[in-house]
Chain A
């Protein structure tokens, strides 16, 4: 196991390369989902705050 993790002595290059890749992918994913959630939230707020035209007309 130790031998495997050491990657023939190149561990300090290989593992960071893969670690950064995973980090980059997760980072993009997280940021994109956060943007989507924020947009949905603001749209929901806007819908809720907007005076209902139909209700106004009836009133």
Chain B
């Protein structure tokens, strides 16, 4: 807990994040570079799905990121609620648009993966449907935060929503799986047979790692901007108070 408070001071956070950023950015370029290489060139086509399995290398990592980012939002919101940590209070808002984009990317690539296999642009597969609901959770969060004139009120309300949504995600996933088995369409997204071949695991993990370091880098940039905005807003309010 003491360690956490070292980041509570925004100036300190800014200093630490400035140090981290070049490394996470470099890691992103390396991991994504290697990831794209192996995904598009140096990996075998699937014995059942052929070349389309390559779409999995962007579809599955974006699903992981979508879920991971939502967890980060919920965790940061909890920290913000309990400790009123200034950086935590801004993290959820900074992360949300990124998570939303990954969710949308997952849905679109899922659609592109499903069409050659099943001839339709959308399948109510359990995973895709769960990601669709997660997309609505993201959109709801963004809508809530932006629906208030007072940004602090928006952030606080959003924080509660993020935590409620997070608790709900396993319940929703369970119910969607339940619904799916009742109606029993075939499961679309299984590549490489019952276990994924190691040659396919490599690009998958590289892309996932690259997406993650990308998120970390972007989060640092957005938090920087948010902290500057916050400081600016407080200074402006302080100035107005002086004039009055």
Do chains A and B directly touch (beta carbons under 8 Å) in the complex?
Answer: yes
* A26-38 to B contact mask, C-beta < 8 Å, 1/0: 0111011101101
In the complex, which of the residues B116, B214, B229 contacts A10, with contact meaning CB atoms closer than 8 Å?
Answer: B116
B interface, by DSSP: helix, strand, loop or mixed?
helix
Interface residues of A in 1-55 (CB under 8 A from B): 7-8, 10, 13-14, 16-18, 20-21, 24-25, 27-29, 31-33, 35-36, 38-40, 42-43, 46, 50
Instruction: Name the interface size band of chain B.
Output: 35 or more
Question: CB distance A42 to B232 under 8 Å?
Answer: yes
Q: Is B187 an interface residue (CB 8 A)?
A: no
Selected interface stretch from B79-87, B136-144, B150-158, B220-228: B220-228
Shortest B76–chain A CB gap in Å is 17
How many residue pairs, one in A and one in B, have C-beta atoms under 8 Å apart?
A: 86
Closest to B28 in A: A25
Instruction: Name the interface size band of chain A.
Output: 20 to 34
Question: CB distance B221 to A33 under 8 Å?
Answer: yes
Question: CB distance A7 to B98 under 8 Å?
Answer: no
Question: CB distance B109 to A27 under 8 Å?
Answer: no
Q: Please name 12 pairs of A and B residues whose Cβ atoms are closer than 8 Å in the assembled complex, sorted by A.
A: A13-B116, A17-B59, A17-B113, A18-B39, A21-B58, A21-B109, A24-B101, A24-B105, A36-B224, A38-B225, A40-B225, A50-B239
Residues of B within 8 A of A (CB): 32, 36, 39-40, 45, 50-52, 54-55, 58-59, 62, 97-98, 101-102, 104-105, 108-109, 112-113, 115-116, 214, 218, 221-222, 224-226, 228-229, 231-232, 235-236, 239
Residues of A within 8 A of B (CB): 7-8, 10, 13-14, 16-18, 20-21, 24-25, 27-29, 31-33, 35-36, 38-40, 42-43, 46, 50
